[in-house]
Structures are given as C-alpha cells and as structure tokens.
Structure 1
Amino acid sequence: MALWDFVKDAGKSLLGSEAEASEAQPQPDEQKHDAETNRKVEALQAEVKRLGLDGSQVHLRLRGDTVIVESKGADRETMEKLILAVGNIKGIAHVEADLPEDAAPAGEAQAKSGAKPVFHTVAQGENLSAIAKKYLGNANDYHAIFEANRPMLSDPDKIYPGQVLRIPQQA
C-alpha cells in the first residue's frame, strides 16, 4: 500500500476531539477507544457520502491518525479523490491505499504507468492560478485543477494552507 502524508492540523473539522467524545459516554479505556474510533470512521464515511463519491466499493479503517482505504473495484480517479477527501480532514495525518492501474482519464498518462499521482500541498498565499502556473505552465489553467478536485472544492477561491490537491496530468 502507498502512503500519502497530509497536514494533520489543517482541513475540515469533522472528527471532533477525544475529550468531547469521552465526556458524552464514560466507559473503560478500551471500550472508549473502540467507540471513539468507530465514531470517527462513521464521520469519515458520512463525509465521503456527502461529497457524492462512490464509497460503496471502499472500506475505511482508522489506525491512530492514519486512514486505511481498501477498495474492491473503485476506479483510479475515484480512489485519488477518496484519498484527498479523507486526508484533508483535520486530525488525519496519513492515508494508506492501493491505487488501481486501470485506464486513466484522458491526458493522465502517469496513472496508466502505475506511478504515484501528483498531489500538491497548498502553501500560505497560494491560489489555484499560481499552482496551475507551476504544474501546468499556464496560470489560466487553474480551472483544470479545480475540476480535478471536485466535489471536494466548491469554489476555486476557497483553498487553504495545508490542503492537498490533485494535479491533472497533461498529455
């Protein structure tokens, strides 16, 4: 399995804190840990569903701050988006997953070769135009990056430092 790193303290606050969960249900330590892990996995699954990504062929597990994504038939583009969807959640530092070597969307020759996809971590002050200039050679191609990250992005102006984005590959 490949491992992707994310900025643990950046992203959508979805998981809450362990302190909040332990206040709600006093339990022995092992049960508390299991209940907390199950609560977080359910929150991750709900976010995948909310984004409209096909999580029906995907099983999520949580080990500390690492999400393990196991797929039974999801295509490569969906898997890349799933990795980003769960990795860009506050409290998640790593995502482990295997990417299928199936046919890639037009222009993504890298995916066909089985190489690791190109992801970019947004730095302070960056925008999609600057990222497009760096990777695609033209700032006006920012919309290609925006489209490659739908449905996680709803507006090209709403990216944040620490967020990881998929970079589409040109032919």
Structure 2
Amino acid sequence: MSLLDFAKNIGRNLFSSPEDAAAKIKQHIEEDNPGVHNLDVVFQDGVVTLRGTADSWEAADKALLMAGNVQGVGKVASELAVTPADGGAAAPQGSTAAPPGAVEYYTIQAGDTLTAIAKRFYGDASQYPRLFEANREVIKDPDKIFVGQTIRIPKA
C-alpha cells in the first residue's frame, strides 16, 4: 500500500459533506479514467483509500493524484493492484508506488509555472508539454496550476 500526503485545504471542490465524498471522488476519477477498473473509494477523516485494479503504474499514480488534489483530502492510501493490460509484469497486490526512480512527485509552489518546473527537473523549459501530458487528469490547462497542487514528474 502506498500513502501520499496532500494539502487538505486546497484543490478541486467536489463534495459538500463527508457523506458525499467517496461517491464524488469516485465519479471524478471515472470521468477521466486513467485506466482503473472496479474502483472502490473510501473516505474517512480526510483520508481516501482507493481499491481496484490499474492497467499500469501510471494509471495508478494518476488515480492517486486525482483523489489527492481534491479539497478536503489530506492523504490517499492506494491499494490498487497493478495488472498491466499488455501482459507485462504485475505489481504485488496492494502495491502501487511507481517503480523506484520512474516518477517523482512535486507540490506546486507560489510563482511556479510548468516551464519553470520543466527547467528545474529536465534542464529544459521547453519540456513543459511532457509535464502537462503526464498530469492531464489533474491539470486541465497548462496555464492554470495552483499552489499546493501535487503533480507527477516522470523521469524516463
């Protein structure tokens, strides 16, 4: 099981009461489904737990970030089983952390832009579309990122 921390008081406002949270977060993930199946979402005291299967490490990461970048969510516990659709090696049950070194997470700071982040991580500001594509489910417009938002930084 992987567990990531998020800024609880920021993000997309999806639910008005804790009773609605799990259903709204599940709907949010399924609308831009990154490759997750049989999704079950549990919300309790600001912690989201995701269960189901993912087609890839990337799909599991994206679902995790989609849940975490929701206002009211402080942590996401992922119990998604990664079962590659292409027949590749499956991850151990309950493991969704990307393979070591494959991805890094970054929390947006005041003054950040995708070009500045690309320059910092890749040494080339023109690589910002790579960041946008890797985070399309949580960034709808490359000019509209917000402080506290957590994104994926693919290494490969």
- After TM superposition, the score normalised by the length of structure 1 is 0.75
Aligned counterparts of 2:9 and 2:142: Cα–Cα separation in 1: 22
Aligned counterparts of 2:8 and 2:38: Cα–Cα separation in 1: 26
Question: 2:97 aligned with 1:121, yes or no?
Answer: no
Question: 2:50 aligned with 1:69, yes or no?
Answer: yes
Q: What corresponds to 1:91 in structure 2?
A: 72
AA paired with 1:152? V
More strand by share: 2
Aligned counterparts of 1:47 and 1:114: Cα–Cα separation in 2: 28
Q: 1:101: Cα distance to partner?
A: 8.5
Aligned counterparts of 2:6 and 2:12: Cα–Cα separation in 1: 12
AA paired with 2:150? V
Q: 1:153 to 1:116 in 2, by over 3 A?
A: same
Aligned counterparts of 1:121 and 1:64: Cα–Cα separation in 2: 22
Which sections of structure 1, spanning at least 5 residues, go unmatched?
Answer: 19-35, 105-109
Listed as ranges, the matches of 1:93-112 within 5 Å are 93-98=74-79, 100=82, 111=98
CA contact (8 A) 1:57 1:74 kept: no
- After TM superposition, the score normalised by the length of structure 2 is 0.82
Q: What corresponds to 1:41 in structure 2?
A: 22
| Equivalenced residues, count | 145
CA contact (8 A) 1:11 1:88 kept: yes
Bigger Rg over Cα: 1
Q: 1:74: Cα distance to partner?
A: 3.6
Q: What corresponds to 1:164 in structure 2?
A: 150
Q: What corresponds to 2:39 in structure 1?
A: 58
Percent identical: 30
Q: What corresponds to 1:152 in structure 2?
A: 138
Question: 2:62 aligned with 1:81, yes or no?
Answer: yes
